[in-house]
Chain A
């Protein structure tokens, strides 16, 4: 019994210390008047290849804005949490951002499951959420305007993939993808486009954890495709591309720009990705925002998620300035005023935007991932895509259409 009592006492002591420690940082932070924004990106787990650079990009924009005097006369503090590519962990992280840090906006959620899990916490607490997730169902959630996504919805992307394959002279198109929330709608829409052009389409959904896909590729080859559309992410697409090369596939390869990105180009043999086309949402050819971003983070071809996070943080900062207030509700109410402000001056970054807003002028942000105009449900309404091709081990720009 004595032993038990000692244990209980030491437990009580320990837990008091824990609670104290948990309170301390937020109390310390409350002293300076700052505006808090959170990033919730995958820093570990399956999304790990994408999250770190997203967080870094958001921080770079925040640093730049802070150096130029911040927003609403205050400095911005960016708080970064790891969603571990897992909605259970993601919700815990989001609760901390919302309840303890009291951020007014969260940006960068990547996995569709994490976004769907976190979204209710955001709309219930009046926190603004900007995401790069692809599942169509996300914008159909009852979010009351608290959610926008910069990733085009997959119905559109599927069609673009199909049309692009036809354009490259392909008649038989094979779609290969791991099980993602958008694999099915992407394939259906791609097949529709291909069949409308007199072609034929087939698909295969594979297990994304395997180190080789020989029989999968045999199945692809039996279809005798002119073009293969790769719907996966970087790690599994790497395996698939190597396997296609070994099997002697010489047709057209088309992938998402986030699956065949700079990391993959650096990591695989040149001939494996040579000629592969990539598609990413993008604004016009002379997108100044895109060039600014490339200079800012020093990455030659930033992948679409990085590009979108850049737009999200710029939009959120300008929306606060336009509203004259930094709450999530204020961002929700004024984000469209800065993203698609009628007759507004075109801007490509928050610093210029903040100056114009301070002068009482309207702005219309044209970002690196597109014009960033949102529908009422939070989807982007524009549809231009940036097409690139891997030539001689480098991305070479084809066009934006």
Chain B
């Protein structure tokens, strides 16, 4: 049971990073990235391929952040002229293309077999139990650092400028803010965080494959950010842990519904997940931890 909680906390931490990533652009500049899982995949594969070729794990993680950021940068530049709803659909397609590349470019990604045996840091020293505990603590610590960083941004003049763009892009431009530059920076930073989450996930599971990166995870992260509170980093983190607990809890419902066959229950479980997101959006549109707009300091 304890091992299960440690595991859920680790996965929760990875989801939290993804939620922070999404929150930064959704709550920050008001863009929606439906291709979140694509950047997650880029980070996971970057680190898996590099460490597989012999680079140290920390270098692999660093590379995942950099490659993620570069990918985010390219995507924003290629899509700057698009309206938000077009961008949402384009990013959804992008994630699918990334999955297709991972699936078909065997020379780079080992194709549909995926990459197994990815190094787990210190596992040989710590043993299984020790490793799981260590990794959980480390992931939580990284979540804390990224959260603190984003909170700082959120409360800085820079963060206020981002939110001004979210609220009214033309007005922000009129006020002298370089809207494009803000969007590109936010998107790149967001993609970098998703890349880091991917690298952490890959080295925790020791295995990545194209099947990992289906749109399912993106939906979970939207649920997390919506539930936690868009526009507030702490909300995203809280939402991510809640989503993981909710996903896991729904497994125990068959004990209460013994008349359903497992296949029917699997459908009921997905219905519950979808309904939860709808209910949150309807009745808690600002999330459990609503955004706080801090007034600019008076001069």
A and B touch in the complex (CB under 8 A): yes
Are A95 and B4 in touch, CB under 8 angstroms?
A: yes
Are B207 and A87 in touch, CB under 8 angstroms?
A: yes
Instruction: Judge if B209 is at the interface, Cβ distance under 8 Å.
Output: yes
Report which residue of B242, B247, B248 has the largest number of chain A beta carbons within 10 angstroms of its beta carbon.
B248
For residues 181 through 205 of chain B, which have their beta carbon under 8 Å from a beta carbon of chain A? 205
Instruction: Judge if B267 is at the interface, Cβ distance under 8 Å.
Output: yes
Instruction: Judge if B11 is at the interface, Cβ distance under 8 Å.
Output: yes
Stretch from B25-33, B77-85, B133-141, B211-219 that touches the partner: B211-219
Listed in ascending order, the chain A residues whose CB lies under 8 Å from chain B are: 3-4, 7, 11, 15, 18-19, 21-26, 28, 39, 43-45, 51-52, 55-56, 59, 80-82, 84-89, 91-93, 95-96, 99-100, 111-114, 116-117, 120, 124-125, 135, 137, 141, 179-181, 183-184, 205
Task: For the complex formed, measure the closest distance between the CB of B110 and the CB atoms of chain A, giving whole angstroms.
Answer: 9
Given the known interface contacts A22-B249, A88-B216, the answer about A43 and B262 at a Cβ–Cβ threshold of 8 Å is yes
Task: For the complex formed, measure the closest distance between the CB of A248 and the CB atoms of chain B, giving whole angstroms.
Answer: 30
Q: Which secondary structure dominates chain A's binding surface? A: helix
Are B114 and A113 in touch, CB under 8 angstroms?
A: yes
Are A86 and B206 in touch, CB under 8 angstroms?
A: no
Instruction: Judge if B125 is at the interface, Cβ distance under 8 Å.
Output: no
- A-B contacts counted at CB < 8 A amount to 126
Are A91 and B248 in touch, CB under 8 angstroms?
A: no
Closest Cβ neighbor of B123 among chain A residues: A124
Q: In the assembly, what is the distance between CA of A113 and CA of B213, in Å? A: 11
Task: For the complex formed, measure the closest distance between the CB of B250 and the CB atoms of chain A, giving whole angstroms.
Answer: 10
Which of A43, A91, A179 contacts B263 (CB under 8 A)?
Answer: A43
Instruction: Judge if B55 is at the interface, Cβ distance under 8 Å.
Output: no
Closest Cβ neighbor of A89 among chain B residues: B216
Q: In the assembly, what is the distance between CA of A26 and CA of B249, in Å? A: 12
Across the interface, which residues of A come within 8 angstroms of B209, CB to CB? Answer: 87, 113, 116-117
In this complex, the interface size class of chain B, counting residues with CB under 8 Å from chain A, is 35 or more
Are B207 and A116 in touch, CB under 8 angstroms?
A: yes
Q: In the assembly, what is the distance between CA of A180 and CA of B106, in Å? A: 12
Are B249 and A18 in touch, CB under 8 angstroms?
A: yes
Given the known interface contacts A55-B263, A91-B205, the answer about A181 and B112 at a Cβ–Cβ threshold of 8 Å is yes
Instruction: Judge if B238 is at the interface, Cβ distance under 8 Å.
Output: yes
Q: In the assembly, what is the distance between CA of A43 and CA of B269, in Å? A: 11
Given the known interface contacts A80-B262, A113-B112, the answer about A88 and B217 at a Cβ–Cβ threshold of 8 Å is yes
Instruction: Judge if B296 is at the interface, Cβ distance under 8 Å.
Output: no
Q: In the assembly, what is the distance between CA of A312 and CA of B178, in Å? A: 63
Closest Cβ neighbor of A11 among chain B residues: B288
Mark each residue of chain B from 95 to 129: 1 if its CB lies under 8 Å from any CB of chain A, else 0. 00000000110100001111011000000000010
Are B1 and A86 in touch, CB under 8 angstroms?
A: no
Given the known interface contacts A7-B288, A7-B289, A84-B216, the answer about A52 and B261 at a Cβ–Cβ threshold of 8 Å is yes
Given the known interface contacts A81-B251, A117-B209, the answer about A99 and B3 at a Cβ–Cβ threshold of 8 Å is yes
Residue contacts A-B, CB under 8 angstroms, 21 given: A11-B288, A18-B245, A22-B245, A25-B255, A28-B255, A44-B266, A44-B270, A56-B263, A59-B262, A82-B263, A84-B266, A86-B212, A88-B216, A91-B205, A93-B251, A96-B248, A113-B114, A117-B212, A137-B116, A181-B111, A181-B113
Are A21 and B249 in touch, CB under 8 angstroms?
A: yes
Which of A23, A39, A88, A180 contacts B212 (CB under 8 A)?
Answer: A88
Q: In the assembly, what is the distance between CA of A96 and CA of B251, in Å? A: 9
Across the interface, which residues of A come within 8 angstroms of B103, CB to CB? Answer: 179
Are B262 and A55 in touch, CB under 8 angstroms?
A: yes
Are B261 and A56 in touch, CB under 8 angstroms?
A: yes
Instruction: Judge if B252 is at the interface, Cβ distance under 8 Å.
Output: yes
Across the interface, which residues of B come within 8 angstroms of A81, CB to CB? Answer: 251, 262
Task: For the complex formed, measure the closest distance between the CB of B244 and the CB atoms of chain A, giving whole angstroms.
Answer: 8
Q: In the assembly, what is the distance between CA of A3 and CA of B7, in Å? A: 32
Across the interface, which residues of B come within 8 angstroms of A92, CB to CB? Answer: 11, 247-248
Which of A43, A44, A116, A120 contacts B114 (CB under 8 A)?
Answer: A116
Which of B211, B216, B265 contacts A113 (CB under 8 A)?
Answer: B211
3 tightest A-B CB contacts, nearest first = A52-B263, A43-B266, A99-B4
Across the interface, which residues of B come within 8 angstroms of A116, CB to CB? Answer: 113-114, 116, 207, 209
Are A4 and B116 in touch, CB under 8 angstroms?
A: no
Q: In the assembly, what is the distance between CA of A184 and CA of B112, in Å? A: 10
Q: In the assembly, what is the distance between CA of A81 and CA of B289, in Å? A: 33
Besides A88-B212, A89-B216, 20 more A-B contacts (Cβ < 8 Å) are: A15-B245, A25-B252, A52-B261, A52-B263, A55-B262, A56-B261, A56-B263, A81-B262, A84-B216, A87-B114, A88-B217, A92-B11, A93-B251, A99-B1, A99-B3, A116-B114, A117-B209, A124-B128, A137-B116, A205-B104
